[in-house]
Structure 1
Amino acid sequence: GGEEVGMFLPRGTILRGGDRLQAQDGRVVEVVSAPEDLLEARCADAFALARVAYHLGNRHVAVQVGEGWLRIQTDHVLKTMLTGLGADVHALSAPFEPEAGAYAHGHHHAERGATEAKIHQYK
């Protein structure tokens, strides 16, 4: 509905697209992830995809893992690396919800520069 809202959430809280929150006045809002410019890497087999994931992790890159694909924020240097590793890489605009990490207590969009999210109000 375009209404701005402010929230106080416990430190480390992860909000992902599709999450719903109930306000003190009883209204429910849904978090809608904003699209970002991303690269999606697909490989010929699971071994090649695991190799690509290893090299991204070795560089501490935030990665979203999907069924047969990996997504990262657009970066021309990483695109060259992925292509060199044999990945089929294409650009897309989509919500980005990377893995929080083994030692992370939460996922913070602000840490990686994306703070935009749309909130839809449900009646």
Structure 2
Amino acid sequence: MKPAKTAALALTALIALLHLYIAWFELFAWTSRGPVVFETFPPELFAQTTVMAANQGVYNAFLAAGLIWSLLIRDPKWQANIAACFLIFVAIAGAAAALTIALKTGMVQLLPALIALALLALSRRNAGA
């Protein structure tokens, strides 16, 4: 396997793990960890938004599941296609978070997804050469 493809898949795996953590955080630790992570928000906000956070957690679990699924696909073309699809979803979620919550919050999702997408594109380009 080419270095760009290996790096893209390794980063995809790390992004999947990040989204599993985010899903756990939003589903199960919103009121305990939320005030620590989002220290600029009023602490009483977290108890009031538990259901909303859990809903977001489900979406993050879906992102993680899609990324993990992409890693299990044997056909290189379809693996790259599915990985790219879910990485684009992650990048969009990161951009939305950067615009609506905090730049730092969104960049944690957006930048790794963009790097992984660039590595996937590079590996496709090199494969065609």
- Name the TM tier (shorter chain): under 0.3
Query: Which is greater in Rg?
Result: 1
- TM (norm. structure 2) is 0.23
Higher relative contact order (CA 8 A, sep 6+): 1
Bigger strand share: 1
